[in-house]
Structure 1
Amino acid sequence: MRGVRALSLGLALGALPVVGGAGGSAAAAVRGVPEADLAYHGYVEMAGGRVDVRMTPRNHGPADVEDATVRLRWSVPLTDRQVLPEGCARAGGRAVVCRTGALAADGVGEEIRLGVLLKGAPTEVTMVIDTVWSGGAVDRNHQNDRQQVLALDTGDSYVF
């Protein structure tokens, strides 16, 4: 790890189940929908067309989440053959989805580690992270579960 750079931007992509109407958490509680606050923290490195990601899911609560799915999308297509860890799967030409496992309220999940190979010889890649399924819980705070990180082909670590 030659250097660490923080390049993290909030991103409003995709949609999660949201209980509408005024009243926020109270409306969710009245309808019996649990509310959680998922977040992902870690780093990404790129060198020689390979991107390595290590991230830890966290649930700031107030409800437990039995399982969730996080999606990682890249601005460059992935090669056709990928070796992904258990709990992760391809989701199109530029994306991978991974299970988080159970996340207790105010708890930290197991670290997710994966490496992907990019097509061509890109000098940079943008990785977008977002929750695509939250186990039936509503997450109203998308400032920490939707992020965008730019990684340069330098071998440096970029923190999110």
Structure 2
Amino acid sequence: MRVAAVCGAAVVAVVGGVAPVTGAVEGRGRGPEAELTYHGSAAMSGGRVHVRFTPHHHGPGGVPDSTAAATVRLRWSEPLADRQELPQGCARAGERVVWCRVGALDAGGVGESLGLRVRLRGAPSEVLLEFDTVWSGGG
């Protein structure tokens, strides 16, 4: 799991206890025969967060094109506004959680870029965003 702190228009990603990297969002998830990472960016302004990321599959097995196979879970430290307009393939899964379908990925492959904008309840000055992969077994 990777965590990104979003403050104003700046983003900081913490990579497993390593020094923060400015301007990127990274996440990682491991399944039985697949290892996914997410690379992208996030920007926040006036209680709205725009997130864009691309899944990368490091193998060894493939990821099938199934909504249950691999899903990226995005969790915010602040509650989301009640109404959200999410892109196709993404769904709200609680007060602070959105899930997005990853789609099929061959070993060593790069998936389609995903972009979403969410509204936070109120207008907090910062928010933590966590990325992780949920596998069909509930991982």
TM-score range, shorter chain: 0.7 to 0.9
Q: Could you tell me the TM-score, scaled by structure 2's length?
A: 0.75
Runs of 4+ displaced beyond 2 Å: 3-11
Match of 2:46 in 1: 48
Q: Which one has more relative contact order, counting CA pairs under 8 Å at least 6 apart?
A: 1
Query: How far is 1:36 from its partner?
Result: 1.0
Higher percent of residues as strand = 2
CA contact (8 A) 2:30 2:36 kept: no
Deviations 1:29-60 (A, max 9, x none): xxxxx611111110111001000000000110
Alignment partners' CA distance in 1, 2:47 and 2:33: 39
Alpha-carbon distance between aligned partners in 2 of 1:84 and 1:35, rounded to the nearest angstrom:
29
1:8 has 2:10 as partner:
no
Aligned-residue RMSD, C-alpha: 2.3
Q: Does 1:88 align with 2:94?
A: no
| CA drift at 1:6 | 4.2
The residue aligned with 1:75 is 77
Amino acid at match of 2:42: V
Say which one has the larger Rg.
Answer: 1
Which residue in the other structure is 1:62 paired with? 60
Map of 1:142-153 to 2, 5 A cutoff?
A: none
The runs of 5 or more residues in structure 1 that have no matched partner are 19-33, 139-160
Q: Quick one: which amino acid aligns to residue 108 of structure 2?
A: D
User: Scaled by the length of structure 1, what TM-score is found?
Assistant: 0.65
Instruction: Give the share of equivalent positions with the same residue, in percent.
Output: 59
> Partner of 2:128 in structure 1?
126
